């Protein structure tokens, strides 16, 4: 399966977790979620993991 398909699946999961609200995916507080680095469709998962603490961590 091409990487882009994986990224789309991850994006869909993140949207599901955030109640279907795209803005909530960007503000996701679940920084310990294994999908967190990929939530914006970044194939390298190189987003900074600066957020800490609080919030829900649904998978």
At residue 1, the pLDDT reads 62
Instruction: Give dist(CA 21, CA 4) in Å, integer.
Output: 21
Give the closest residue to 9 by CA, choosing from 41, 57, 47. 41
Taking 80 as the threshold, does the pLDDT of residue 9 lie above it? yes
Predicted TM-score of the model (pTM): 0.64
- pLDDT tens digits, one per residue of 11-59: 999 999 999 999 999 999 999 999 998 888 776 555 444 444 444 555 5
DSSP assignment, residue 30? -
């Amino acid at each position: 399966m091409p990487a882009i398909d994986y990224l789309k699946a991850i994006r869909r999961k993140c949207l599901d977790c955030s109640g279907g609200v795209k803005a909530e995916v960007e503000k996701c507080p679940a920084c310990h979620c294994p999908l967190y680095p990929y939530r914006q469709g970044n194939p390298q998962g190189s987003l900074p993991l600066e957020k800490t603490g609080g919030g829900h961590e649904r998978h």
